[in-house]
Structure 1
Amino acid sequence: MSESSKASEHSEEKVIQPAAFMSRRKLGTLPPLGKIPQTDARVLAKIEIPVYVLDLENIRITWANRAGLDFMKLDSDTFNHQESLALPAPFSDPAHIRRLRNYLLANTEDEERTESVTVVIDGQPTNITCAVDEQPFTDGRLGLLVQVTSISNTDVSQLRIAQALLFTNSMISMYTESGELIYENPVSRLHRPKSAANLPDRFCNDRDYHAIREALQTRLQTNLVCLMKAGEGNRWHDVTARRGHDPVTGEQTILISAIDVTKRLEAEHEVRYLAHHDTLTGLPNRTYLEIAINRHLDEAELNDAQGAMLFVDLDRFKTINDTLGHLVGDDLLIQVAKRLEAIGKDLGFVARLGGDEFVLLLSNFPDHDLIEEVAEHMRQELSRPYVVGGHNLQITLSVGVALYPEHGRDLDTLMRKADLAMYRAKDLGRDRYCFFNTRMAEDAEERLRVENALRHAINNDEFELHYQPRLNAQNNHITGAESLLRWHHPSRGLISAGVFIEVAEETGLIDAIGEWVAENAMRQQKAWEEQGYPVTLSINLSPAQFKREPLPEILIDLANKLDITPSRVKFEITESLLLKETATTLHQLTQLRDAGFQLEIDDFGTGYSNLGYLQRYPVSALKIDRSFISDRKRWPIVQMITQMGRLLNLSIVAEGIETLEQLAQIRTVHCQEYQGFLYSPAVSADEFLHLLKQDRQQRRTARRL
């Protein structure tokens, strides 16, 4: 259906006056095929204007009077034979029928309803104006009563313009200079509230109307996205306003074209929300943080204000995910986010970076003590118990604090320094907060230098093994040696593993370094054995190496490749490895024991020593940490460890023996072996071979005596 324009000078219009009773009178109820009572038919047949009854559901004409048949150039015999007739365009368009039906249902007041349409009769487009009203059928369906009130033959271009105006989804309307409605197309009429006919009344906000009027004073056209009143409620519209003239009166007008963009804006808002917010907790994400913090920092700089960034990490959150599942972990994060959001509501804002990491940005906080109070309050509040999935959970958190502008004036700098402070809090035992200081940055830079140098060392064979003798505590003869890693640093010379092993563990380089140590120690043991010195070598294994499940297979394959007797190799592990109580660790240690290797606990006594894990794990010896040997006050602990060893049938090795008095003491508590500077520090392979030769000579001398 197309909306007709005003008749032009090229159009010829015939105005037909409808019968008075037809203007608002409904016909009697029609039979299913649309036949009307004969008395009504005789009356309507005498009316000289075309009248039709339309079946909107089946899109058919079910009845027409003589004037209607003549207008469509049909005779009564043809129509009666067909019993109904297909609707001409545009009534045959389902979209138009739906709009027309909605229009009828929406207009419940007693007012005249008209439609200006273009129909094609005998190939000739003709513009007609119709009075329309609803006509119910006997089966409850809604029909349409149509009476033609005017007919005009319009030129083709006018008809096509009218057709475009009628079928467009844009609400097009024309107003006088003062804002009174002159014209609107059907879409505008359908969606406009009756109370908002004039232009100022269409806008929800007066400022939008005044913005359009002001813009049109200086230019021909303007565009604005604004909230407008509609039959469905307030809706967002993309409005184009243009200055023009009324073609009938010549007066200045305002032409408005409005497209409902509410759904599009809602979709765009949803996209922006998802782009800037965490989907799990609803908190702002890192993307939003990057946007927001620039505004906060700019304002802080302008106002000479101070603030802080608090980097929050939940302690051992991975354990919750691994033991209770990710659903419980996600629910816990949601509850944590709610508590954090409540804390930061009046102080700044909270964002989730991902995983179990959050950020609280404090604005305008010049008082260092006040920032400490916030950090402590947050630590206590988030540590209160949670009920998640039927579980009562309690967590701790590590918090790093960076101040601005003292520690940085941009996001990257503040995040990096707050992150360093957070890791410092973890190093100090977790469940605490730490403020950034320059020493942390220096340590981080040093770790990075060490990491880069370690990678270079692996590729350039800069490592070397030294060997510290292990001796029988009773006769002082060599029983074996502990292999200790040394690094020929390009600028710092020979350095021990204690300087760099932590960095190697954190970066994953420990795997490559550990395999190098194991292979070279086994090669050396095999070489000494072939020279007639079948000593036993002990090799240190890092807990980080046990994160690789194939570790036992790697070591067993290495021994097989080098033709090593496994009983000649002892692997030293730390108490911290056993304290993790994982089935995987137990399985790995059992694999090594079953392959013939011996297992010893190094630095025993520094952890939470207990009989429980000593009984569960396949260890054969305990090495007493040197700190117990060097302090006389701690000798009772040495006695307790040796008694524990005898109870479990474990060998006892004393580390750090530096004096004859210490040697005498460990003999009294029946330690089987010792090592320390009293006999020899760790030495090169050649020097250790020399010690082996000396020890053999002493044994021979002792036998002759």
Structure 2
Amino acid sequence: MLGCLRTPVWVFDIDDSCVLWANAAAIDVWQAATLRELRARDMKSDMSASVAKRLRQYQEDFERTNISFTELWTIYPGGRPTTLHVRYSGVRLRNGRMAMLCEALGEPSETPETLRSAEALLHTQMMISLYTEDGLLLYENPAARHTREPNDRSLSARYADQNDFVQLSKTLSRDGESRRIVRIRTTHGVRWHEVTARRCRDAVTGSPACLVSEVDLTDLKETEERARFLAYHDVLTGLPNRTSAMRDFPMRLEAALLAAERVAIMFLDLDYFKTINDSLGHSVGDEVLIEVADRLKKVVGRSGAVARLGGDEFLIMARSGKRSDRFERTAQAILSAFAKPLKISGRTLTISPSIGISVFPDDGSSIDALMRHSDLALYKAKEDGRNCFRYFTKSLQERAQVRIDLESDIRRALHNQEFELFFQPRVSTKTLQIVGAEALIRWRHPLRGLIMPSEFIPLCEETNMINQLGDWVLEVAIERQVSWRRKGYPLSISANLSPRQLRSRDVIAKLAAVMERTGCAPGDIELEITESTIMESGQGPDGIISQLKNLGVRLAIDDFGTGYSNLAYLQNFPISCLKIDRSFIAELTRNDAIAEFIISMCRLMDIHVVAEGVETLEQLNWLRARGCQEFQGHYFGSAVPAAEFERLLELQHALPKETAIPVADCQPVKAGHS
């Protein structure tokens, strides 16, 4: 009977995307020669994803209820568009599958714009729905149908939070439109949608209606949440980071103030953590930090807070509660937690923390001030041997201020050229003739007068100013050596080379440049290096020591006996001179065994020996008897300015050869040790 109808009718197999049966009118619409030819067409090959999704939605609806749809539909037989009003209903096949009965109701009279609008609604990813004034579903495009739960046919049912729906309704009633980002119930779970709703009328009934368009922003929201998390959390440990601490800790302080509670801000730093990174690698270091974070969270608990500031630095906030000793108990618990070794990548590691503590409101009212004071206390804990905790005191702040002032003064002094080189004679034990000089820096402060290096060199080492200062010392010392040689005073100059200078990549280039500019012979310059520094520098062919040897300068071990004191190991280095520390010279009258052993070993190894801190004739005679070649000390003369040292050279030059300068004539007022 269907075959006799003039109305095009066909049965479409949704699963296999093909026509199963069609009457003559439908075969004509599809521009097929026969039914067999029409059934053989594979319509899946050029079917868009939107159309396939819409057909699946029809199939699901047909399975659930006896329903039919009438829609404007465009088919493309032979590649040419044919738009029809089609009524769709479900038809059960013999094998139980659900197919679709399609009945063409005629060609539409709509304008091209209307037809294109219908196609756009079909294919767009934007979810578009039309609801009655009461929120009941009237229409939804395929994208909207795809995301709606089958039973959620009212607008309110789709909202995960009914407060969002209430706000939408209020705004819509007041302004006629509303736009909000809300959580919507979908077939994929709760998702974030940007929902735009506008009041309108149903084009079929003319009744008030609501047009809703939705865009899924879940991926964007999750990215924003992730970015927000990363902005306030440490990626490695998951702890709050510095930004989070600076935002949240002040609020915790205010809460403690209202509760009349004291709060401790603890600055924690891992002892020798750099050694783990350098020796075992950063991956092991990262595992250590993760374990450290876990242990800190367990100790501090929910009553406090832990943040990672960066590197191996952590910030801890602890509230006092009702116990006056709570802070000390917490700090001690942290130390105890770290007493247990860490199992990292099959290794057993022991690591300890140093902790500095400041207390709110006693030591400061702001998080900035409390962190500064905790940092000072941490510095004190490290000074006192590490693996301990120390509280902030006013004296630490005063000492820090002195340090800050001193650093500022040093920078100003470098700019104003307030530093000066003094020279201490190096004297032959046999002839008492000046054979060399050690260049020693002094600071001629405009208010404090002459300042010895022990007051400013340690700070220069810490702040990296030592490189600039050390470069200046070497340059002036080399220039002075060349000047004295040209005046007929051929002597070598020695100068100290700091550990930081030795680690500097350009120290060799700078030395070579100064020597080339001044015409200085490299062999006339001796660089003094401490035992520990030369041991740490390495002895490979590309090491800094080998490079200095290749440059031609001589190397001396300064203050020997205060470090490794391993003469056998030192023979592996190109050392030409060894300076016995003054402490052994001072002990000669009570215990001369060490000094005698050093001199004997150096004689066997053909290393030149200089004794430092010689202050008496007895000491000089002892050294002379045992073959020590040179000495320095107040017995002959302290370090003096360059002009005064040059007068000593002039006096020595004026005397008959092999005649020593009278000691009484060359002893200036003692300026202190070098």
1:100 aligns with 2:54: yes
Paired position in structure 1 for 2:593: 639
Residue from 185, 207, 229 that aligns with 1:229? 185
1:58-91 Cα deviation digits (max 9, x unpaired): 9775642145457x4x888x56696469999xx9
In the TM superposition, what is the alpha-carbon distance from 1:548 to its structure 2 partner? 1.5
Query: How many residue pairs were aligned?
Result: 651
Q: How does 1:23-62 map to 2 (within 5 A)?
A: 43-47=1-5, 50-54=8-12
Aligned counterparts of 1:354 and 1:526: Cα–Cα separation in 2: 50
Deviates more, 1:687-696 or 1:272-281: 687-696
- Matching residue's letter, 2:640: V
Paired position in structure 1 for 2:455: 499
1:276 aligns with 2:216: no
Aligned counterparts of 1:674 and 1:430: Cα–Cα separation in 2: 39
Paired position in structure 1 for 2:633: 676
1:171–1:524 distance in 2 versus 1, CA, 3 Å = same
Q: How does 1:399-438 map to 2 (within 5 A)?
A: 399-438=355-394
Residue from 566, 570, 573 that aligns with 1:617? 573
2:130/2:209 contact within 8 Å kept: no
Is the partner of 1:338 in helix, strand or coil? helix
1:131 aligns with 2:81: no
- Matching residue's letter, 2:444: H
Aligned counterparts of 2:46 and 2:140: Cα–Cα separation in 1: 23
1:112 aligns with 2:66: yes
Aligned counterparts of 1:502 and 1:585: Cα–Cα separation in 2: 31
1:175/1:199 contact within 8 Å kept: no
Aligned counterparts of 2:599 and 2:376: Cα–Cα separation in 1: 42
Aligned counterparts of 2:325 and 2:480: Cα–Cα separation in 1: 59
Percent pairwise identity? 36
Residue from 146, 149, 161 that aligns with 2:101? 146
1:538/1:569 contact within 8 Å kept: yes
Is the partner of 2:559 in helix, strand or coil? strand
Aligned counterparts of 1:564 and 1:366: Cα–Cα separation in 2: 73
1:162–1:363 distance in 2 versus 1, CA, 3 Å = farther
1:468-526 Cα deviation digits (max 9, x unpaired): 22334566554433211122323333322222222322333322322221222233233
1:380–1:567 distance in 2 versus 1, CA, 3 Å = farther
In the TM superposition, what is the alpha-carbon distance from 1:170 to its structure 2 partner? 1.7
In the TM superposition, what is the alpha-carbon distance from 1:174 to its structure 2 partner? 1.7
Paired position in structure 2 for 1:687: 644
Q: How does 1:147-162 map to 2 (within 5 A)?
A: 147-148=102-103, 156=111
1:522/1:564 contact within 8 Å kept: yes
Paired position in structure 2 for 1:467: 423
Is the partner of 2:562 in helix, strand or coil? coil
Aligned counterparts of 1:87 and 1:702: Cα–Cα separation in 2: 116
- Matching residue's letter, 1:339: R
Is the partner of 2:471 in helix, strand or coil? helix
Deviates more, 1:262-271 or 1:580-589: 580-589
In the TM superposition, what is the alpha-carbon distance from 1:176 to its structure 2 partner? 5.5
Aligned counterparts of 1:427 and 1:586: Cα–Cα separation in 2: 35
Aligned counterparts of 2:613 and 2:233: Cα–Cα separation in 1: 57
Aligned counterparts of 2:542 and 2:559: Cα–Cα separation in 1: 19
1:215–1:306 distance in 2 versus 1, CA, 3 Å = farther
1:655–1:105 distance in 2 versus 1, CA, 3 Å = farther
1:567–1:241 distance in 2 versus 1, CA, 3 Å = closer
In the TM superposition, what is the alpha-carbon distance from 1:547 to its structure 2 partner? 0.6
In the TM superposition, what is the alpha-carbon distance from 1:557 to its structure 2 partner? 5.0
1:107–1:557 distance in 2 versus 1, CA, 3 Å = same
In the TM superposition, what is the alpha-carbon distance from 1:658 to its structure 2 partner? 4.1
1:65 aligns with 2:23: yes
Q: How does 1:587-598 map to 2 (within 5 A)?
A: 587-593=543-549, 597-598=553-554
- Matching residue's letter, 2:596: T
Aligned counterparts of 2:486 and 2:410: Cα–Cα separation in 1: 33
CA-atom RMSD, angstroms? 4.3
1:404-438 Cα deviation digits (max 9, x unpaired): 34444444434433334333433444333333334
Paired position in structure 1 for 2:613: 656
Unaligned runs of 5+ in 1: 1-42
In the TM superposition, what is the alpha-carbon distance from 1:111 to its structure 2 partner? 1.8
1:279–1:108 distance in 2 versus 1, CA, 3 Å = farther
1:557–1:213 distance in 2 versus 1, CA, 3 Å = closer
Aligned counterparts of 2:518 and 2:259: Cα–Cα separation in 1: 71
1:126–1:390 distance in 2 versus 1, CA, 3 Å = same
Aligned counterparts of 1:619 and 1:388: Cα–Cα separation in 2: 42
- Matching residue's letter, 1:114: S
1:543–1:332 distance in 2 versus 1, CA, 3 Å = same
Aligned counterparts of 2:200 and 2:595: Cα–Cα separation in 1: 101
Aligned counterparts of 1:665 and 1:105: Cα–Cα separation in 2: 112
Is the partner of 1:336 in helix, strand or coil? helix
Q: Give me the TM-score of the superposition, normalised by structure 2.
A: 0.81
- Matching residue's letter, 1:690: R
1:647-703 Cα deviation digits (max 9, x unpaired): 343555443344556657767877554333343221112222333455564876679
Aligned counterparts of 1:596 and 1:153: Cα–Cα separation in 2: 100
Aligned counterparts of 1:639 and 1:559: Cα–Cα separation in 2: 41
1:105–1:336 distance in 2 versus 1, CA, 3 Å = farther
1:607 aligns with 2:607: no
Aligned counterparts of 1:373 and 1:540: Cα–Cα separation in 2: 47
Q: How does 1:437-586 map to 2 (within 5 A)?
A: 437-473=393-429, 476-556=432-512, 558-559=514-515, 561-580=517-536, 582-583=538-539
Aligned counterparts of 2:542 and 2:495: Cα–Cα separation in 1: 19
1:56/1:97 contact within 8 Å kept: no
1:586–1:427 distance in 2 versus 1, CA, 3 Å = farther
1:333 aligns with 2:289: yes
In the TM superposition, what is the alpha-carbon distance from 1:542 to its structure 2 partner? 0.9
In the TM superposition, what is the alpha-carbon distance from 1:110 to its structure 2 partner? 4.8
1:616-641 Cα deviation digits (max 9, x unpaired): 43334443444555579x943x5324
Is the partner of 1:194 in helix, strand or coil? coil
2:599/2:628 contact within 8 Å kept: no
Q: Give me the TM-score of the superposition, normalised by structure 1.
A: 0.78
1:127/1:154 contact within 8 Å kept: no
Paired position in structure 1 for 2:131: 174
Aligned counterparts of 2:260 and 2:568: Cα–Cα separation in 1: 60
Paired position in structure 2 for 1:343: 299
In the TM superposition, what is the alpha-carbon distance from 1:363 to its structure 2 partner? 4.7
1:539–1:132 distance in 2 versus 1, CA, 3 Å = same
1:533–1:222 distance in 2 versus 1, CA, 3 Å = same
Paired position in structure 1 for 2:668: none
In the TM superposition, what is the alpha-carbon distance from 1:173 to its structure 2 partner? 4.3
2:63/2:98 contact within 8 Å kept: no
Paired position in structure 2 for 1:392: 348
Aligned counterparts of 1:246 and 1:550: Cα–Cα separation in 2: 82
Q: How does 1:222-261 map to 2 (within 5 A)?
A: 222-240=178-196, 256-261=212-217
1:365–1:551 distance in 2 versus 1, CA, 3 Å = farther
Is the partner of 2:451 in helix, strand or coil? strand
